[in-house]
């Protein structure tokens, strides 16, 4: 009988990319993926430590899984990712049912580590700070039916924003060689992928530290020239590293989608300074103006933290005003949480949990109105949409995304997966658009 593995992923796109790599390694070893932990011989949890909430959820799940190990001691149980890196052997002490603890830079050793665990009949941890991060295993059909795919261009971060745990758990910034990225992009396209999303914690500082070529702009130019690639996106960019050259590419490259995720974090200069972000609100606003001048239809999304230590009511009002002024297409907002080892953990004047929640609700209400208004303003327009597959709620509806990264559902009795189509927007909702098919932009790949 084919052995099964179960893999639960918490957190960001980087974690999803890492989980895809782990899944491919196990599939190549002859395992099959199961959606049910109880059925699996290997159970893995890929964890996120960026905010307390995600970490707590992962720890609760790890605790709950102890009963499965009691029932069947032959199961291999492992924790991967940022919580694994951060808590290391403490996790093995706290959860004696665990077999493996593997940090984000070592997940591609999953096959060797699980074999070692069986041979030595002992818990195994692997938390080395290796720069060997080329997590590009063979696909073996893994991408079948997929249209869009993440492609990692760098690992780690050197910015040390005062609230952020990433540099401590993913290590120093390491850019992957461009030849490897380009080879992988060619492979992805041969496998049927039409849209590539370059990912890294700070993609626009790609190759800066090691003074290597190409720059991030050069990498985008090279990717844009690959035949068969229809769309190119990247995330996340840091405002302090967003060059005029990179902004200019939004008006130049045919595959680069009119969307940028540019986290601002706060609308108050005093808070930005204490966050060690390296830019002012004015600089951020200038960047948005330049982006909108270069590409008037560009969609901008951002991240904000509320309740950072010392954030006053006035600081928070400045964040609200910035949101009103810049009118983001989308905003991901979070309550600040202390992360072990970060500078902000020791900052005075912590904001109370109730205050943080109230500020978060106010900010989210404000943004929800803007997002809805932006989506409604697209009613009557015709958008180019890359069709990704059946809509979530089923029926005969298909789903895809506009260049501005908005989800569009529309009725169709043919698959159209992988095709660029023209959709007339009928209705703008809070989280998606509904439209009708008004013709192909290119041929379907199916």
210-249 residues in contact with ligand SF4 (CB under 6 A) are 238
Dihedral sign, Cα of residue 366, residue 430, residue 403, residue 178: positive
Among 97, 105, 114, 339, binds ligand SAM (CB under 6 A): 339
Residue 46 touches which member of ligand SAM, ligand SF4, none, C-beta under 5-8 Å by kind? none
CA distance 255 to 251: 11
Q: Does 334 bind ligand SAM (CB under 6 A)?
A: yes
Nearer to ligand SAM, 230 or 405 (CB): 405
Burial class for 387, CB neighbours closer than 10 Å (0-12, 13-18, 19+): buried
Q: Is 46 helix (H, G, I), strand (E, B) or coil?
A: strand
Q: Does 24 bind ligand SF4 (CB under 6 A)?
A: no
Torsion of CA 247, 272, 431, 248, to 10 degrees: 0
Among 4, 7, 12, 219, binds ligand SAM (CB under 6 A): 12
Q: Does 337 bind ligand SAM (CB under 6 A)?
A: yes
Nearer to ligand SF4, 88 or 278 (CB): 278
CA distance 22 to 40: 15
Q: Does 159 bind ligand SF4 (CB under 6 A)?
A: yes
Structure tokens at 17: 């990319």
288-327 residues in contact with ligand SF4 (CB under 6 A) are none
The DSSP secondary structure of 360-419, one letter per residue, reads: HHHHHHHHHHHHHHHHHTTTT-EEEEEEEEE-TT-TTEEEEEETT--EEEEE-SS--TT-
Q: At what angle do helices 313-326 and 281-294 cross, to 10 degrees?
A: 10
Site string for ligand SAM, 42-61 (x = CB under 6 A): --------xx----------
Contacts of 327 by beta carbon, 8 Å cutoff, 6+ apart: 370, 374
CA distance 21 to 24: 5
CA distance 238 to 241: 6
Nearest approach in angstroms of CB 241 to ligand SF4 is 9
281-310 residues in contact with ligand SAM (CB under 6 A) are 303, 305
Q: Does 167 bind ligand SF4 (CB under 6 A)?
A: yes
- Binding segment toward ligand SF4, per CB under 6 A, in 128-136, 157-165, 380-388, 403-411: 157-165
Dihedral sign, Cα of residue 92, residue 95, residue 99, residue 103: negative
Q: Does 265 bind ligand SAM (CB under 6 A)?
A: yes
Among 175, 202, 268, 417, binds ligand SAM (CB under 6 A): 202
- Nearest-Å Rg of the Cα atoms of the chain is 22
Nearest approach in angstroms of CB 278 to ligand SF4 is 9
Q: Does 157 bind ligand SF4 (CB under 6 A)?
A: yes
Q: Does 166 bind ligand SF4 (CB under 6 A)?
A: yes
| Contacting residues toward ligand SF4, per CB under 6 A | 157, 159-161, 164, 166-167, 201-202, 238
| Contacting residues toward ligand SAM, per CB under 6 A | 12, 50-51, 163-164, 166, 201-202, 236, 238, 263, 265, 303, 305, 334, 336-337, 339
């Amino acid at each position: 009988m084919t052995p099964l593995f179960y893999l639960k992923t918490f957190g960001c796109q980087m974690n999803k990319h890492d989980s895809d790599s782990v899944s491919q390694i196990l599939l190549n070893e002859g395992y099959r993926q199961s959606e049910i932990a109880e059925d699996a011989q290997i159970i893995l949890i890929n964890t996120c430590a960026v905010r307390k909430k995600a970490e707590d959820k992962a720890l609760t799940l790890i605790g709950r899984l102890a009963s499965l190990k009691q029932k069947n001691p032959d199961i291999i149980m492992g924790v991967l990712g940022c919580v694994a890196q951060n808590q290391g052997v403490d996790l093995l002490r706290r959860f004696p049912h665990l077999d493996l603890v593997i940090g984000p830079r070592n997940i591609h050793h999953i096959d060797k580590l699980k074999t070692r665990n069986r041979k030595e009949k002992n818990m195994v941890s692997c938390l080395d700070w290796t720069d060997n991060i080329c997590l590009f295993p063979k696909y073996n059909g893994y991408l079948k039916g997929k249209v869009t795919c993440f492609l990692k261009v760098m690992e780690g971060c050197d910015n040390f924003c005062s609230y952020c745990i990433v540099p401590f758990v993913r290590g120093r910034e390491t850019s992957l060689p461009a030849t490897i990225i380009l080879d992988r992009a060619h492979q992805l396209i041969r496998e049927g992928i039409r849209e590539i999303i370059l990912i890294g914690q700070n993609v626009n500082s790609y190759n800066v530290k090691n003074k290597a070529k190409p720059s991030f702009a050069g990498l985008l130019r090279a990717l844009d020239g690959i035949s068969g690639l229809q769309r190119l996106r990247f995330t996340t960019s840091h405002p302090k590293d967003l060059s005029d050259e990179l902004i200019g590419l939004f008006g130049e490259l045919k595959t680069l989608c009119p969307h940028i995720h540019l986290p601002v974090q706060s609308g108050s200069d005093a808070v930005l300074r204490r966050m060690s972000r390296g830019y002012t609100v004015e600089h951020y606003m200038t960047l948005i103006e330049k982006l909108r001048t270069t590409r008037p239809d560009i969609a901008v999304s951002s991240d904000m933290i509320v309740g950072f230590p010392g954030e006053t009511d006035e600081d928070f009002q400045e964040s609200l005003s910035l949101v009103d002024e810049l009118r983001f297409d989308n905003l991901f907002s979070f309550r600040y949480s202390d992360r072990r080892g970060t500078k902000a953990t020791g900052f005075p004047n912590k904001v109370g949990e109730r205050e943080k929640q109230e500020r978060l609700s106010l900010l989210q209400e404000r943004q929800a109105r803007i997002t809805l208004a932006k989506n409604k303003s697209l009613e009557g327009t015709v958008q180019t949409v890359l069709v990704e597959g059946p809509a979530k709620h089923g029926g005969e509806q298909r789903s895809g995304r506009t260049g501005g990264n908005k989800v569009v559902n529309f009725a169709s009795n043919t698959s159209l997966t992988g095709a660029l189509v023209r959709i007339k927007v009928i209705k703008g909702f809070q989280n998606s658009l509904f439209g009708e098919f008004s013709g192909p932009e290119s041929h379907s790949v199916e």
